[in-house]
Amino acid sequence: MAIIVSLSEASTSETQIYVRSTFSSGGTQAVRAKFYKSGSYQGDKTFSATTSTTQYFLYTGLSASTSYSLSVQYLDATSNVLGSDSITSSTDNPPPPPDTTSPSLNFSTPTGSSITSTSIYAYASATDNVGMSYFQFLLNGVNQSTVYVSGTSASANYTYTGLTEGVEYTLKVTTVDTSSNSTSITRYATTLTGRPADWLWTTANDVNGNKIAGADYRMGNNEWNDFTTIINEFLVYKGFGTTTFTQAIFDGTFYATRFNEAKNAIGGMNTTGITNRITNDDVNAYLFNTLKTKLNEL
């Protein structure tokens, strides 16, 4: 009966190859199996004389992602080679390097209409080289919401509610990627104070606080200065910064620039539909009343 020798791969890793070898014959007995790598002796297994056996051998100290020529020889008691076999086997590829890159986070301080007297709206976006996992929105250090996302680019938003009027809050957004790398940004925002009372003109006015068209009136310096003060209160209420107005003086000329300052400040919150006045333009009751109406609409 012919002598049959086989060699096969049992398992592999990045630096090792484990092989399985079998020997069978009709009567000739083997006592040793010698294992080679690229023709170089690596080790052997000895066993009691037998006509059939299975032997295992571990090749170590190998390089990742590399092919090797492996072989086995079976010998008898007088070191005669009874049979051999060979294979080509490869070690495993190394795993990719760990992801240690944190996400890139964008989170701007909430302003304008994002803030009311009892709530603050926050928006954040982020990108990551591998993939996003979630955003967290914290208020004064306490997580309020976790928003789960996916992909290498994502965004999320959250509205902090139940807040107290006129209080500064610490807002923090943390974003975490699929490898648990994180990035955080902290911002500060103050809730609005209560809405100012409607403005009413106090000279040459009707019962609704409007200037009376065609009436013989003048704009008092105190009235105008009070009006600009109220505009600033509305700016703060709407989450904008205050502006500096040119103060009107007693018995002074009412310049177009003063009117334009007020018109532009109100227009930044609510479109007035009025163009800027220039020297010698009329500034009539309709224009003053339009400013009042647009301010009170806020």
Q: Which two tokens stand for residue 238?
A: 């709407």
Choose the weakest-confidence range: 33-47, 205-219, 237-251. Answer: 205-219
- Kindly state whether residues 236 and 260 are assigned to the same domain: yes
- Kindly state whether residues 86 and 132 are assigned to the same domain: no
- Kindly state whether residues 23 and 83 are assigned to the same domain: yes
Q: Tell me how long the chain is.
A: 298
| C-alpha–C-alpha distance, residues 90 and 9, integer Å | 9
- Kindly state whether residues 63 and 115 are assigned to the same domain: no
- Kindly state whether residues 258 and 180 are assigned to the same domain: no
- Block residue for tokens 């806020």: 298
| C-alpha–C-alpha distance, residues 194 and 12, integer Å | 72
- Kindly state whether residues 183 and 248 are assigned to the same domain: no
* pTM of the complete model: 0.53
- Kindly state whether residues 80 and 112 are assigned to the same domain: no
Q: Which of 28, 61, 62, 23 is nearest to 45 (CA)?
A: 23
Structural domains of the chain, count: 3
Taking each helix axis from N to C terminus, what angle separates 256-267 and 285-296, rounded to the nearest 10 degrees? Answer: 30
- Kindly state whether residues 74 and 114 are assigned to the same domain: no
Residue 197 domain-assigned (yes or no): no
- Kindly state whether residues 8 and 47 are assigned to the same domain: yes
Residue 96 domain-assigned (yes or no): no
Q: Which two tokens stand for residue 127?
A: 């990108």
The CATH number of residue 84's host domain is: 2.60.40.10
Domain holding 118, by residue range, is 104-190
pLDDT in tens, 57-111: 999 999 999 999 999 999 999 999 999 999 999 999 999 899 999 999 999 999 8
Which among 150, 170, 190 is the end of a domain?
190
**Upper half-sphere CA count for residue 232 (Cβ side, 13 Å):** 11
Q: Which of 191, 82, 176, 89 is nearest to 131 (CA)?
A: 176
Residue 206 domain-assigned (yes or no): no
Which among 56, 90, 124 is the end of a domain?
90
Residue 207 domain-assigned (yes or no): no
Arithmetic mean of pLDDT, 10-18: 96
pLDDT in tens, 124-153: 999 999 999 999 999 999 999 999 999 999
Residue 78 domain-assigned (yes or no): yes
Non-local CB neighbours of 94 within 8 Å, separated by 6+ positions: 14, 64, 65
Q: Which two tokens stand for residue 163?
A: 């807040």
Arithmetic mean of pLDDT, 182-188: 97
Under 8 Å between Cβ of 110 and 173: no
